Each structure stands twice: as structure tokens, then as C-alpha cells.
A and B are shown apart, each in its own frame.
Chain A
């Protein structure tokens, strides 16, 4: 048994003990998490600085604050979300209780990533705890300092059996994935997503995959370019471009390309000064491998700004590329770095077609003063989410589920959606155990509902039957169900002769004296039922009277 088996089994045993069921327990754990963050704010920021060159301000406002907000929201709303949710009843279930009961799934695995190593790992943990699960937490090994901090810090504040932190890289993750979980939430790249889902399939484990994509940013001619470019520069270059929801590339008309470049440059200088390398707000690439990768994407491109890098510090200057060829490498993969290509398109339609021909991205951005442009862009493309006239911020609204579609992922979370994602919403119907009179119509042998005249034996009104020897509808085993208005007779199959005859006002009849059971119950016909004869219309008689 691997070391992970033990950890997972302990988490499962702890879950099975039932201790996460009471809301009070879950709220206590969330409060402990909140205390942990407040007590260790400096350490969290220190880890983010060491891993990604974030300073205290952006570490707090781009990471920590979101997790604190999620915890507050979850604590406040949990009592409301955890109660049974009554649903609309059908006519047959009016006397019953119909509701959705939310219950934990069991043991959840959360695999974080390195770009926002605190938020992306811990924000889903908040939802998983609130929903009453045990949570195995696997931070990314690439953001080493945060991984070490979480491994030390979390066991000091949260239940150690229920919420273990495991460490390791690809081999360890592969090992962990052999264990059975009740839900896996993974944030990372497309290739990783496929591996996770494949492993999950062996155990029929549902997954939430937050993957990436090339998030397009369409800038309309009809827009305030100063504001647009400032917002785009903010979202693109925060965390050195290493944001899943960052605008990956710009689509615009060639006539405004130069203006966009100038205004982006202006904003970049405002944010980071003439030399971004000296700015405390400008991040670094996570490691050498990614540094080389992003530098490689600039090769052969027309650089309008930046374009330089320093391998020793993993610094890449804020870079703008113009007149980019859609076939070039920088347009083939998610950039995840501080490089902004601009691709020229001649119209909104061309932009829409460009976007639609490619894999669905995690986010889509459109800047325009014209509402119709925004609506058309949303209506004719697809993406995980959208922000119009800004970037990234739709991911911060807790009532908007955050997730991808197609290659950019499946499932979503944040706020109430987290609670739902990590719960099993169980459909429940509770009926009274009264006598069965009201249900008898559903039991076989199906009661004959005879549409006949008011008085007189229905057999007199039957024009014919499937079995020429039988003239009484009640003794006929054949079936003709129809809602065709001109056909008012309904005959039904029976196992035994029916004791009631409506024509005689509900008196019990003796079973007909058949010389053999076969006469009452001939075998079912094998020919087409369409050959059943038509019978004349007659008003309705209900046998249940």
C-alpha cells in the first residue's frame, strides 16, 4: 500500500465517522482556516514573493482576499444552502414531500496549480469543506514555497485526518490518482486534464477541470481605447501574464492597431515604469522551462514593445507583438506569459469566425460602446465565461460560476456553485404509507376504463373485438389504447376476469364459466396491432364508480 493509500483511507474513515455532517463542525473548520490565513498572512505573502515575485499588495489583493471572501460567504450562507430544497410537485405527488437533499460526496481530491498557488488551491477547498467532505489537498510542486507552507500550516489549524496535504510532482500525482475519490477538482493544462479524467474514469469519479485556452480580446473601433487598453494591460500583465483568465491575444481592425499599441505602452509605463524589471509590482516567470517557452514564442515576430528577457531572474519584459500571423507558434498555444500578440481582423464577423474556428477558451473579452456588438459576440461564440468592457473580473463575482467549456474545462465552482459541485444533490420523494386506493389504477391488471353509454351493457355497443368469440369488453384481453377523439373505447389486458361490470352499477360478477382458462386469456397476438378494428364512439363510463 502506498503512503497515499494510507492518507486517503484515513480521510475516508474520518469521513465515514460522520463528523463532517453537522454544519457546526464545517463552520468551525472554515473559521479555523480563516484564522490560519490571518495569523500567517506574512508567510503566505512571503511564499508568493519567493515563488512568483508578487509583492504584499498584489499577493493580498490578487490571492488572499478572494479566499477570505469565499470563507465569509460560505459561513454566512451554509445554513441556507444545506437545508432540503423543496421542488415543484406533479399532480400525482401533491400529497407527498418532494425535495432535493444536499449531502457530501465523500473524499474529494483538489489538485492546485502554481500560477495562483494559494487561491486556486484553497478556494475550492473552502467549498469542499462547506459541503461536508474530507479533502485531500495537493498543491503544485512548481510553486515550491507555497507547497511547503501549506503542508506545514494547514495541519496546525484543520482536522489532520480529514484535510491532509500531500506533496510531490508528477510521479506522486500519478500514484495518488490510483486511489478512489468521490470528486476530483483539477486546475492545470489540457493535457493534464485528460490524464486526470482518464484516471477518474476507472473509479467513475466525477471531475471538475479548470483548464486553459487562448482567451481572445476583441477591441471594437467604437470604444474608449484609453480605458480599454488600461484594463487590458492590467489583466494581461498581472502575475506576469500567468493567469488562466488573462486576455491571451487581441483582435482588432488594422486601423486601430497602432493606437492600441501606444495606449498599452502608456498604461504599462504607468504601472511598471520605464524599466519593468525594477518594478516591485512586476512578476517573474515561474521557472526556466516556462521562461524558455515564452521567449521562444516571440521569435520571428514583429515586436512593438519589449521583447527582451533575462534568464537568470526569469524576467520577461512586457511585450507587444503586432501584425501577428494566426499560423505562428504564439497563436497556437496558450501564452501564459507577458506577451500580447495583436491579430488584425477586418470586421466583427471575421473576429467571430476567427474565435469560433478555434478551441473554446476559458474566457472571452469584448470591448465596445455598442451593446449590439457585445450581444452578437456572446451569441455567436462560446467560452467558459465573458467579461465585456473589462477583463478577468467575471471570475471575481461569486454568484457567477467559474469554469471552462470544451477544451478549457468542465464543471464550475465559486460561491454556491462550489457547494453544489462538491455535494450530491439527492432527489427525494416521501409519501405517506396510507392505503393504496388512490394508487390502484397503476397496478396490473389494468382496470378497464370503459367509455360507454349511461346504462346498458357495453358489449351491446361494441362493434367488434380482437377475439371474435368475445363480445364483452371486460372479458376481452386485447388492448386498444388511444387518445384519438373518435375512438372512445379503451380495452385493457387482464390476468383474470374482472369482477366489476360498470353497466350493472359495480356489482360483482362471478367469473365467466369458461371451459378452459385459454378461452378467457388467449395468448397475445403476434401480428401488427394496427389491424385492431375501430369501434364506435360512446360517452365515458368510469369503472371506479
Chain B
């Protein structure tokens, strides 16, 4: 029994019908998405509170405003982006017209994660809508509040011949991936990324995989520790550390570490108060499973800031660890939580070697006054 067959057939028919080709249709879809964001701001905010205890401020900054901006950008540039792109011609082709013509791929599958469940769903959606594709959206089942808004409310704003939301966990996603899509956009972890690409290979479906990694953060010796600490702490503890591009660990000299630690403490107190657990600005861990994983990491190295946790609340305090060994779990897996290990290196070259020995990461952060 294939729960997706009918939906996908309907969408495929729409792909073939040419319905999505005119710019007016695509602009109408984008405007629909814009209206969805505006009309349902409160529902979305509530859902984000429910899922991640995301403060409204964080929700605005990292989810809703970004989506609205992407919709506006696409609407503004749609016709330009759709235009044929003339290319340089060789002497041989000088009497010809040579250009790149843009066309939709067909049926696009977007598999979204739970950490920025609005942003990481709707921004790719804008990207799929603008070229005129039909879309299937598979929101994360872990962020249940947002999943519900996307499944029940979003389809009302888009042409349902060309758009569908499907729900489910890993078994349903595997079943969905047996079908043929013309593009798959996946955000998640590398293990699942491999599964998605292998499934895509069976149908020769091109993919975009946004995965994770341990994004290093190098801090040079000549930096103002408070400025660095503010920026690092801000993004490390934003969304309770559940950000793919957050600084995962710091690389610095022991001297810089000495200067950074009090600065980090000051930043944390400024942001979240003396009792971060009661700060409405600090989010919560998405699930019990991730909470337990993170709590396990608190045993690595030595806790110098934070270290508290509360299972009932899925709360982990903004934490800094020192004296961490490379072999410890906190340096083996992407942390994805409000824990910041500091690893000492004696020079920039040593930092570069350290980074080179490891897998390539999604982001790299470097603080220095020297170009």
C-alpha cells in the first residue's frame, strides 16, 4: 500500500500540463507564500515555541524575516532570472544566437529538518517555486508544531495541483524515496544524506544535500576577547546550539583561552541572565533523545561555564568545556547543542593542520585583526 502514489501522480500530471510555466503563475504562488507568512505569523511563532521554545525574537530573526526576504527577492527578480542568458559566441557561431534557456526540472522533493523548521523548508521552497517546479514537501516529524502548520495551513495558499505536503518519519521517508523525483533537496545529517543520495541514484535524480559538520572557530591572539566572546556566544547558543553553521568548537592558544573564558561568561550572563534556564531568550533541545546525547557530552573535558541540565525541560545550560581531548565524543561528532569546547593550539599553522585532518565542514569561523 503506497500512501504517496496518488499524490505524486497528480503532481506529475500538473508538471506535464505546462501550468507552472507562465511567470504570472509562479509570481502568484510566491505571493501566496508571502501571504501565508504574514497571515500565520502567530501560528508559526507558537509552533516554534512549542517545538524549540524559540523566542519570538529568534523566530523573527532566523526564520520568518529570512523567509519573507527570500519571497520578496524572488518576486522582484523572477522575470530577470527566467530570461534567456546570452553567452559569448565563437567566431564559428557569430551569426547564431547562443543562449542558456531556463526551464523547470519537474517534480522537486524537499526534505526539511527540525532546527529551523520554517526557514529550512520555505527558503528551498521559494527556490523550487520560482523556476516553475511542482513540489512535495516533507517537513520534519520532530518539529511537530511546525509540521502541523505546514501540513494544514500552507497548502491553502498554494495551487494544490502543484504542491503537496507529505508526513512521516524514517520508514515513510524511505518509501517516499522509492519514487522518482526530478530533484531532491535535503537538509539533515550526513548519514541520512548518503541514504537520500543512494535512493536518488536509482532514478538518476540530482540532489542538493545540506549536511552538517564540526565548524571550527579559530581565535587569533590579538583579538578583543569581549567582542569575540559576544559574537561566538551569540551564535553558539542561538537556538540552543542547534544550528548547522554554528561554531562547534574554538581553537586558540592557552593565553587567549584565559582571556576568553571570563568574556564568554560575561556574554552569557548579559544574554541570558544569572539563571539562563529562566531566560525566555534561550531555546530548548528538540527531543529527549538529543537531550540525552548532549547530556552525555557534558562529561567530556572539564566544565568551566554552565554544565547544568534539566531533563523535564530538555534544558542544557550554555556551557563551555576546556581540557578536551580530540578522541572524546564531544570532538568526534557534531555537537548541535549549547556546548562549546575549547581546544588549544600553539599557532595558526597548528590550527590549520588540525582543521585539515578532519572532514570538511559547512562553515569555518576565524577571528583576527590581521588580514
Contacts and interface: CB of A to CB of B under 8 A. Distances in A.
Interface of A: 16, 190, 193-194, 197-198, 200-202, 204, 209, 211, 356, 378-380, 382, 386, 393-394, 396-401, 405-407, 409-411, 433-436, 439, 442-446, 477, 479, 481-482, 492-496, 517, 521, 523-524, 528-530
Given A401-B100, A479-B55, A442 B234 contact: yes
Given A378-B101, A479-B55, A529-B46, A442 B197 contact: no
B201 A477 contact: no
A529 B56 CA distance: 10
A530 B46 CA distance: 9
A267 B13 CA distance: 42
Contacts of A399: 87-90, 98
Nearest to A16: B356
B280 interface: yes
A433 B227 contact: yes
A495 B197 CA distance: 44
Interface residues of B, number: 65
A-B CB proximity, top 9 nearest: A495-B273, A444-B281, A197-B201, A201-B197, A493-B280, A399-B87, A495-B279, A201-B198, A446-B57
Contacts of B280: 477, 479, 493-495, 521, 524
Given A204-B190, A399-B89, A481-B57, 4 more contacts: A201-B200, A382-B103, A433-B368, A495-B278
B10 interface: no
B42 A530 contact: yes
B342 to A, nearest CB: 19
Contact of A436 (B18, B231, B369): B231
Nearest to A97: B371
B105 interface: yes
Which of A16, A396, A493 is packed against the most chain B CB atoms within 10 Å? A493
A398 B87 CA distance: 9
B272 interface: yes
Contacts of B279: 444-445, 493, 495, 521
B202 to A, nearest CB: 6
Contact of A523 (B42, B278, B281): B278
Contacts of B190: 204
B271 A495 contact: yes
Contacts of A356: 16
A373 B46 CA distance: 53
Contact of B209 (A204, A477, A530): A204
A386 B101 contact: yes
A379 B18 CA distance: 10
A442 B228 contact: no
Contacts of A445: 271-273, 279, 281
Nearest to A383: B103
A378 B101 CA distance: 8
B165 interface: no
27 contacts: A197-B200, A198-B198, A201-B197, A201-B198, A201-B200, A204-B194, A209-B204, A396-B90, A397-B98, A399-B89, A400-B98, A401-B100, A433-B227, A433-B368, A433-B369, A436-B231, A442-B234, A444-B272, A445-B273, A446-B57, A492-B57, A494-B281, A495-B279, A495-B281, A496-B274, A529-B42, A530-B46
A379 B103 CA distance: 8
Nearest to A382: B103
B211 interface: yes
B206 interface: yes
B87 A397 contact: yes
B60 interface: yes
Interface of B: 16, 18, 21, 41-43, 45-46, 49, 53, 55-58, 60-61, 87-90, 92-93, 98, 100-101, 103, 105-106, 182, 190, 193-194, 197-198, 200-202, 204, 206, 209, 211, 223-224, 226-228, 230-231, 234, 270-276, 278-282, 356, 367-369
Contacts of B226: 436
Contacts of A479: 55-57, 280
A355 B234 CA distance: 54
Nearest to B60: A481
B57 A493 contact: yes
Given A446-B57, A493-B55, A204 B193 contact: yes
Contacts of B53: 524
Contacts of A407: 204
A428 to B, nearest CB: 9
A320 B188 CA distance: 52
Contacts of A481: 41, 45, 56-57, 60
A442 B182 CA distance: 39
Contacts of A433: 223-224, 227-228, 367-369
Given A433-B227, A433-B367, A481-B56, A400 B281 contact: no
Which of B193, B201, B282, B368 is packed against the most chain A CB atoms within 10 Å? B201
A470 to B, nearest CB: 14
Contacts of A209: 204
B281 A446 contact: yes
A529 B45 CA distance: 8
B278 A517 contact: yes
Nearest to B105: A405
Given A397-B89, A433-B223, A493-B281, A406 B45 contact: no
A146 B181 CA distance: 38
Contact of B234 (A204, A378, A443, A517): A443
A413 B212 CA distance: 28
Contacts of B282: 444
